[in-house]
Structure 1
């Protein structure tokens, strides 16, 4: 049977743009058909923003690569209409366990509270993830939405004008030129667009190597995240085990810095390492092997004129904490609605500058956490190692020590505190739903709160009166009216009211809170909408 990553999903077809007398102009061109580029294209298409995706490949990624997808990105994918098959295929998990040597020192639950539609994480190979996104893009295309994906189309030139960008695109039938109002580079860590524009990263490269092995085997291990410090099968180093669909297990083994990378990837060297971990009698097959070195870096700016960078092309982090793809999907979530308003003439270009502010904040938060994780996992001095080992010993018996253990602070959504888009706040309401925060879910009678939010500006009212619709300079704000009693569990009141008796929330199209009040005030809402769209 042909494997997914061997099947062309968007093979090259000649485009009418190649036969045009002069370059054809598109509102948005996305370069790169990985998870971030596909998610952004889907988001734009659902909002009726014409978008073309260019990719130098014609199929999904080889190897499982990113596998851990967190609750917030799953909520974003719900809004895009493609989370259900991913969750159905993926391995759901909430529980993690930490080992020191051959002892389990403690475990943790990443989603200890009820009232959320999605789990803390699913594990799903990146090629499955991308396939579901391509399927969704094809659905939209078949429904007449303005989206197109062009395979075997490599961007080899970028020329900026004041009001757009001209790209040179190389194809099996030769190059052609195409124009765009906006170009979004989602072309990965080795971004050709970044290279063509002579841009680079700032940050750290960590001096260590890790072996990734995807192993096919039948095992009775539960669907949990297991992390070892100094295990007996990899002394002085670390290890990680995750379950994936279809009987595949992801194993990460720290190798150290001074190694022969090509030699370590050979099956005759990988298999003894895995048998030391799994047992000499373990039966398994190698599916995919790679060796990676940590990098925690980002571009100084994500917007350069009419070219915007997202995902790994803009920032890179170590894989501990599952922050790479999850952060990239939040980039797409942040950018899509802003491009919609700007290309539609409803917001100034300054709104795209807010993407730079908010997502650089997200990247810095991820880089900080990833750097700290890496420093804890791979201590750079004997003093650091003694401290780490003492913390691990204490964590087995004392709860106070467990937050100090850092086996990869797992991905959480960024709260955009200090964003120029944030409007007013009031005292007495929960901190978790302050302006800049993503709206948390809550189970309602027969539905989920986040299923009713997103894709447009909305007023969420809880035990408060407000008009059903408000027009603010061409932007329609629709009301979602709820009562605290709609949620028998009390999660809605706990997450949105606090000590307040009523609440009015202005929710952005990406389900982040823009502003909140205890009662409706039209002038205040209009001012908050204008601020959230960078309008005077």
Structure 2
């Protein structure tokens, strides 16, 4: 068993708040020290916001849990200072293969185009991700950042008020009361915060269960995503195989609906299933076993006054497609720059309503894709199964059928089409960089574009003139001037110019496009800045 599960990373220590004569007020309190809660805390602390993280545990999550981290998550993690150890430790992959019965019907490459600083996906156990994030917290604390993690601090009650949130916290040495200007709930799918506020999910629970097994073994399978429909070792069901670091392999086996979950998790029942898949002679050791039920649900709203929900506490999808943790990191990426501007008084409180709107759009997109995947993987009628199997047969020989195969549409970054924060698109440019889109990376000599666009508003010009600096409504926007003449790969031209001769982009702190035009027009871009911070 991996010893990392046994190490207290943020052991309980008595806080001065517990001895204060009156509740101490903090700028932001985050509940939950999983990947999403730690990402929010790091992001805010890097901007100088005072943050306290409360967690009822003091260790990393048991079991690998989330393992598949997409390129956009790595780009966000790079800004948070965590991407390098993730990539160094993780298993990089771009290729996926789909099997039907005992034959491969096709394979795909998730990143056929080059010119990105990070791979399409890495596989990495969630406990490593959490460890790297805690190490980043410690580094920030050593630099004097206003950031604290309190282990074994369990929130037992929450009171909401117009200008703050009050929390009752239980510790090994008794309870205390603390207050926050803002509370971010990142306490998971079974969120106690959600329950204490009397809120709930809306959505759909599917009648299917899957066995997850983390298996330690020496194997010569390639570093790819393998998905089976109706395999010989799990007839009428499906299966998934992924490689992780430390010779750990993730295996997902569909079990059906009417099962005894506790019985199915017992080694005497799990091991025969795995031997049927891997072969009787393969030696392996079980590290972690769990059962999950397909669910596609979300809260009706992610903002409730001064309480903001992010990650699994706000939305839940089935694991196929790697949309859980990846979408949670996009939540914090969207939220934290807005909360910083509200705390500074640069933006109105209503800017946080755009977090609700934009990330509900993202959650609905994930739920739609996850629901479609689930319906394809687990047909609900005989006619649906016949149609699915016909698509799989066709995909072996005909390329047109392959986009119809759905073994889990893998996580992609969300584009906020229709957001009120976007300005009109006045550039006939590539669709992938329209307003609302996350900026795609591009090589710039010996560096890459995205780090130059992180954490601030930027006026990106490509073969176009513009002021070097704009001051508008308390926001400073600095120019980044580029030219396709310096772009030997032509990635910058393909992703940002298309057929245009020049372009000017307004980029938000979360690296999403707020506006673009073929040339700089002062009134238009000042309007776009005001709109992007919720002042128009």
Report the TM-score, using the length of structure 1 for normalisation.
0.99
Paired residue secondary structure (2:234)? coil
Q: Distance between the aligned counterparts of 2:278 and 2:67, measured in 1?
A: 21
Partner of 1:271: 271
Pair 1:323-2:323 in alignment: yes
Partner of 2:467: 467
Structure 2 spans left out of the alignment, 5+ residues: none
Question: Residues 2 and 91 (structure 1 numbering): CA distance in 2 closer, same or farther, change over 3 Å?
Answer: closer
What's the offset of the Cα at 1:431?
Answer: 0.8
Partner of 1:514: 514
Q: Distance between the aligned counterparts of 2:81 and 2:472, measured in 1?
A: 28
Paired residue secondary structure (1:233)? helix
What's the offset of the Cα at 1:469?
Answer: 1.5
Partner of 1:395: 395
Partner of 2:376: 376
Partner of 1:452: 452
Partner of 2:242: 242
Partner of 2:294: 294
Q: Distance between the aligned counterparts of 1:161 and 1:235, measured in 2?
A: 55
Alignment of 1:211-360 (within 5 A): 211-360=211-360
Q: Distance between the aligned counterparts of 2:526 and 2:172, measured in 1?
A: 52
Partner of 1:68: 68
Q: Distance between the aligned counterparts of 2:179 and 2:339, measured in 1?
A: 16
Q: Distance between the aligned counterparts of 2:132 and 2:332, measured in 1?
A: 17
Paired residue secondary structure (2:174)? coil
Pair 1:77-2:112 in alignment: no
Paired residue secondary structure (2:345)? coil
Q: Distance between the aligned counterparts of 1:173 and 1:275, measured in 2?
A: 48
Q: Distance between the aligned counterparts of 1:80 and 1:265, measured in 2?
A: 37
Partner of 1:407: 407
Paired residue secondary structure (1:441)? coil
Q: Distance between the aligned counterparts of 2:469 and 2:5, measured in 1?
A: 46
- Please say if residues 326 and 411 of structure 2, whose CA atoms lie closer than 8 Å, have aligned partners that are also in contact: yes
Paired residue secondary structure (1:175)? strand
Partner of 1:191: 191
Partner of 2:423: 423
Q: Distance between the aligned counterparts of 1:295 and 1:209, measured in 2?
A: 10
Q: Distance between the aligned counterparts of 1:93 and 1:440, measured in 2?
A: 19
Paired residue secondary structure (2:145)? coil
Partner of 2:104: 104
Aligned length: 536
Paired residue secondary structure (2:400)? helix
- Please say if residues 427 and 503 of structure 2, whose CA atoms lie closer than 8 Å, have aligned partners that are also in contact: no
- Please say if residues 413 and 438 of structure 2, whose CA atoms lie closer than 8 Å, have aligned partners that are also in contact: yes
Q: Please give the per-residue CA displacement for 1:84-136, whole angstroms capped at 9, x wherever unaligned.
A: 00001000000000000001000001111011111110000000010001100
Q: Distance between the aligned counterparts of 2:114 and 2:127, measured in 1?
A: 31
Q: Distance between the aligned counterparts of 2:465 and 2:138, measured in 1?
A: 41
Partner of 1:150: 150
Q: Distance between the aligned counterparts of 1:386 and 1:170, measured in 2?
A: 55
What's the offset of the Cα at 1:459?
Answer: 0.5
- Please say if residues 460 and 507 of structure 2, whose CA atoms lie closer than 8 Å, have aligned partners that are also in contact: yes
What's the offset of the Cα at 1:444?
Answer: 0.9
Q: Distance between the aligned counterparts of 2:404 and 2:507, measured in 1?
A: 35
* Structure 1 runs, 4 residues or longer, greater than 3 Å off: none
What's the offset of the Cα at 1:2?
Answer: 6.6
Paired residue secondary structure (1:270)? helix
What's the offset of the Cα at 1:47?
Answer: 0.6
Q: Distance between the aligned counterparts of 1:351 and 1:17, measured in 2?
A: 31
Structure 1 spans left out of the alignment, 5+ residues: none
Q: Please give the per-residue CA displacement for 1:35-78, whole angstroms capped at 9, x wherever unaligned.
A: 00000100001111111111010011000000000000110011
Partner of 2:115: 115
What's the offset of the Cα at 1:424?
Answer: 2.1
